[in-house]
Amino acid sequence: MDSAARTGGMARGVFTADHEIFRTQVRRFFEREIVPFHRDWERAGIVPREVWRKAGAEGLLCPMMAEEHGGAGADFGYAAVIIEEIARSNASGIGFPLHSDIVVPYVEEFALPQKKREWLPRMAKGEIITAIAMTEPGMGSDLKAVRTTARRDGSDWIINGSKTFISNGQNCGLVIVVCKTDPGAGRNGISLICVEEGTPGFTKGRNLEKVGMHAADTSELFFDEVRVPAENLLGEENAGFSYLIRNLPQERLVIAIRAAMSMDVMLQKTIDYAKDRKVFGQTVFDFQHNRFKLAELRANATMFRVFVDHCLAAHMNGGLSIEMAAQAKLLGTEMQNRLLDDCLQMHGGNGYMADYEIGRAWADARVGRIYGGSSEIMKEIIARSL
């Protein structure tokens, strides 16, 4: 049985046989089109757009999108398979889940029918790469504090403001802009408006240099009197905050799923390394302290895997709550950072070398405690339900 279907000697029941057949297809694609080139993309700071088109042709983008729009109409389990295979490959620069599972659902649910017909098939093919622009300089996790504005002018919206830390920012052909359409109404004055690449006044700033996730293009975006048709509004005016709150649990589950697989894979690589690496006449694994540490890490990783699979099953059945998603993200990213730090330490000096996967995974994981809502925000969400 594949290691994705078993964790810590325990069978996983959340995936069907069809999911696992799809996993084989996804893994082959990654082995052929992603893994051999990812280090080059890390140095370049971006994944070529052609890779997105290849993924679209293979059906690896937007699996949950309705067939009428160019997707497969599949359940979230297929998305989870892709997320896990990204983590298995340590290919953190691949922004498919942000596009497919976080941004595109807003368009599919809230865009006008003519905009769906125009955009969604091209999103499924990888011809349009998407981003969502929430964070602003000095704003952090407080969505209510956005300063980017959109004012109505006849049949158009005119957008002014700036965003930062926007994933897929360089590659994006369409970005959902979180903006204030009623500046005095706080969270009740936020709207989501789509802006296409090439629209006058919309410019992409520098590709930001990060501590980790080097292949993931991350940008500043600027909007100077950007005029877009009123039809680019998603859903109702001033209802954007409620849409974000409703969709954020899936985003946080995406992060938790990735953390769980990263822990599983990097822990096994560390166990293999410890059994092979010799110091003082014996293997690293032969030292009782190291065996006990690895045993502890395995127990924790297995425990989290059980919980995240429970959350995945709940989400597939429409029962993942905001609080449970926050718990999964909080526990997963905090545990992932601790586990990878311990695994890196067990590699010694080799662990700090970029040629070893553990060092890159360790650096890539750090942002998990920040994006999608920081750990502190997750605690606040959980605390509200107590």
Which residues carry out catalysis? 251
Tokens standing for residue 34? 């992603």
CA dihedral 244, 249, 255, 260 (to 10 degrees): 180
Confirm if 362 and 368 have CB atoms less than 8 A apart. Answer: no
Confirm if 258 and 87 have CB atoms less than 8 A apart. Answer: yes
CA dihedral 24, 25, 28, 32 (to 10 degrees): -170
Return the SS3 of 59: coil
Which amino acid makes up residue 192? L
| Beta bridge partner(s), residue 226 | 159
Q: Where are the beta strands (DSSP E) in the chain?
A: 6-7, 10-11, 130-133, 149-153, 156-167, 174-180, 190-196, 202-207, 218-229, 233-234, 278-279, 282-283
Number of other CB atoms surrounding residue 152 within 10 Å: 12
Distance (Å) of CA 3 to CA 8, 113, 268? 9, 42, 10
Return the SS3 of 328: helix
Tokens standing for residue 89? 């490959």
Tokens standing for residue 318? 């429409």
